[in-house]
Structure 1
Amino acid sequence: MTTHALPPVVDTATWERRLAALRAREKAATRELDAIAAERRRLPMVEMPDYTLEGEDGPVRLVDVFEGRRQLITYHHMWFAGQEWQCPGCTGFTAQYTRLEFLESYDARFVVITQGPIEEALAYKRRVGNRMTWYSSANSPFGADVGAPPGGGFAVNVFLRDGDTVYRTWHTDGRGTEQLSHTFALIDLLPYGRQEEWQDSPEGWPQSPTYSRWATSKDIAALYGPDAASDHG
């Protein structure tokens, strides 16, 4: 007999009634998210200066980061000087994105920008097996101006290009970035959820300190980095 906490066992009709009630709330939440997205499309925007960032091939203007597309999403990866392993949350979050070509059909691009010097940033990208395109704002006020200053937290920004002029249209940070992730969406479907102490769970549900189940940056490198690739052929 199991010693783990379990949901109550009921007959099929009772389960279907409870599921239907929950689904009504889920559908309402979906409609609210649709309304939020509609409002996002109606947000005003602000014109950006002509920033210069550093890319794999050298200096690049922000407008050229679009690579001819009209829309750009930037994930601002936390960076701490002198650290071998950078933020595990940022490292794990951006590890999800291995196939971004679908954005081309939407005239858009999604890239990583960090305050780390470009040579160090690219070396870290290779070490952890990251598949996104990286840029550095180490020599530019860009990161600080869009909510991701040196030594600061992570952020997501969205930009729209009109000719050579770039506009900032949206920003979020903290848990606002979860809507871009499939990992939390999948985990939240599970009966035990994220199993973190802050979650509202039934009595006896497994719960651990926040972040304790997250993969470390070293773990991610072992799974996706160049050594992992050679190990798995």
Structure 2
Amino acid sequence: MTLKALPPVVDTETWERQLDDLRVREKAATRELDAIAAQRRRMPMVEMPGYTLQGEDGPAPLTDIFGDKSQLIVYNHMWFPGKKWQCPGCTGFTSQFTRPEFLEAYDARFVIVTQGPIDEALAYRRRVGNKMTWYSTADSPFGTDVGAPPGGGFAVNVFLRDGDTVYRTWHTNGRGTEQLSHTFPLIDLLPYGRQEEWQDSPKGWPQSPTYSLWAGSEDIAARYGPTTA
């Protein structure tokens, strides 16, 4: 017995013809993303003041967070004071990046900055098995200045260092982060997609409330945290 609606069954020739039609749109979207990236490379930048964050080894000037690289990607992780489990979206998104060292060949680094106190942030990192490097902006206006204030949402920011001067070159939040994830692109390939009620799907397709299929922070900790070692 079939429990879900199914796509129509057609012959191979019909299937390939419709795939070719879809490929036209997919290729157009790829070219548009290339054009967006080209425009991003032509963006001006804004000089940043000096900031000192807190890292695992103590105070860290923003320039030091680059290490020996000139480019820096920062994920601003949401933080709720006093909570054992932090934002599941942020926790899930950052759990994907287990080997960001590939960026080293591109003269870049990718780190997490959160409003949480550094000791609590590092404890949370261990609890959920996160592999990235974390910093705290709890005692710095840095988070607020780049669109991630205390009690605020998440963000992605990109910076360029020229000597001792740091510039902000790009920022996004909300669904702007989806292109940086591998989870949604994979899920979007599936016949039933994300199965969220806001999506345009054929009649009868399984759909659930938005976020209801996302892994919670506790689920992520169970999969990747220290208890799974």
Q: Same fold (TM over 0.5)?
A: yes
Displacement of 1:134: 0.1
Which residue of 1 is the match for residue 141 of structure 2?
Answer: 141
Question: What amino acid maps onto 1:46 in structure 2?
Answer: V
Which residue of 1 is the match for residue 72 of structure 2?
Answer: 72
Deviations 1:14-47 (A, max 9, x none): 1011000000000000000000000000000000
Which residue of 1 is the match for residue 81 of structure 2?
Answer: 81
Q: Normalising to structure 1: TM-score of the pair?
A: 0.98
Distance 1:65 1:19 in 2: 46
Which residue of 2 is the match for residue 47 of structure 1?
Answer: 47
Displacement of 1:3: 2.9
Question: What amino acid maps onto 2:74 in structure 1?
Answer: T
Which residue of 2 is the match for residue 97 of structure 1?
Answer: 97
Deviations 1:133-168 (A, max 9, x none): 000000000000000000000000000000010000
Distance 2:83 2:200 in 1: 35
Unaligned runs of 5+ in 1: none
Whether 1:21 and 2:21 are equivalent positions in the alignment is yes
CA RMSD across the alignment: 0.5
SS of alignment partner, residue 194 of structure 2: coil
Deviations 1:71-105 (A, max 9, x none): 00000000000101000000000000001111000
What are the residue-to-residue correspondences of 1:1-233 with 2, within 5 Å?
A: 1-229=1-229
Distance 1:198 1:86 in 2: 25
Distance 2:2 2:94 in 1: 37
Distance 1:19 1:127 in 2: 44
Identity rate of aligned residues, in percent? 80
Unaligned runs of 5+ in 2: none
Q: Normalising to structure 2: TM-score of the pair?
A: 0.99
Question: What amino acid maps onto 1:86 in structure 2?
Answer: Q
Question: What amino acid maps onto 1:121 in structure 2?
Answer: A
Deviations 1:106-129 (A, max 9, x none): 000000000000000000000000
The alignment of Structure 1 onto Structure 2 pairs a total of residues equal to 229
